[in-house]
Amino acid sequence: MNDGLVSHPGPVLLVGGGKSDPDQLRELLDTCALRVAADGGAETLLALGVMPDAVIGDLDSLTDVSRARIPAERVHHIPEQNSTDFDKCLSNITAPLVYGTGFLGPRVDHQLAGLTVLANRPDRRCILLGEEDVIALAPPEIELSLPVATRLSLYPLAAMRGESEGLRWPLDGIEFAPARRVGTSNETSETRVRLRFDAPAMLIILPVESTPALSRGLLSAPATWPAHA
């Protein structure tokens, strides 16, 4: 794994230029001691009186006034246009978990680009938070502690298979693919859910109040995929 520009032993907050729920963002600021801004996400942090520890991106959304407030050594300009600012950031953050806000709305094309980045960076554990949902790329195996009847949606970004325990509609034997079979609107049937996947291409989508459970699951999940994946 490339250590990149930012390395931290604890969770890292990554703020994008889209809308972030203020209350949610304040909770994340309390959770994360290190805060990174993706380009214009620096404006969001500065508006809350928080100086970003790093700003990464092509910097086309960061105003000159705001840039002048940030110490020059914290600003990392990556001008290439072949990747999004979210990808630039995620590939340059080494941490056990990244919480990303300001990436899931309101534009659908931005959301799709963000979800694609998750699939392209399976070595980075990242949770994207929106107003209603949280989304993460599933690791090889994950165990979640959730109330019974919690909505748990699964969306494949490539052809793949999975296995499950504790879901109302089990995954075993199903061939998933984005244009053929998806797993949206499933729900938990037990308080302990176990999921296993054969490729790093399944998105887990949960209600936003399930963020702590998803965080614990990702932090305790295996770090590497099986050799055949």
Question: How high is the pLDDT of residue 224?
Answer: 77
Where in the sequence of the chain do the CATH 2.60.120.320 domains occur? Answer: 141-220
**pLDDT at residue 228, rounded to an integer:** 45
pLDDT at 100: 97
Q: What is the CATH number of domain 6-131?
A: 3.40.50.10240
Would you list the DSSP string of the chain? ----SEE-SS-EEEE-SS---HHHHHHHHHH-SEEEEETTHHHHHHHTT---SEEEE--SSS-HHHHHHS-GGGEEE---SSS-HHHHHHTTEESS-EEEES-S-S-HHHHHHHHHHHHH-TTS-EEEE-SSEEEEE--SEEEEE--TT-EEEEEESSSEEEEEESBSS--TT-EEBTTTB-EEEEEBSSSEEEEEESSS-EEEEEEGGGHHHHHHHHHHS-SS--TT-
In this predicted structure, what is the pLDDT of residue 105? Answer: 77
The rounded percent of the chain whose pLDDT value lies above 90 is: 88
Q: Each residue of 47-103: pLDDT tens digit?
A: 999 999 999 999 999 999 999 999 999 999 999 888 999 999 999 999 999 999 999
The model's pTM: 0.94
Q: What is the pLDDT of residue 186?
A: 97
Superfamily of domain 141-220: Thiamin pyrophosphokinase, thiamin-binding domain (2.60.120.320)
Residue 67: the pLDDT is 95
Q: According to the model, what pLDDT value does residue 80 have?
A: 87
Stretch(es) of the chain classified as CATH 3.40.50.10240? 6-131
What letter represents residue 55's amino acid? V
* Mean pLDDT per 10-residue interval, the chain, length 229 residues: 84 95 94 96 96 96 94 95 93 96 87 92 95 96 98 97 97 94 96 96 97 97 67
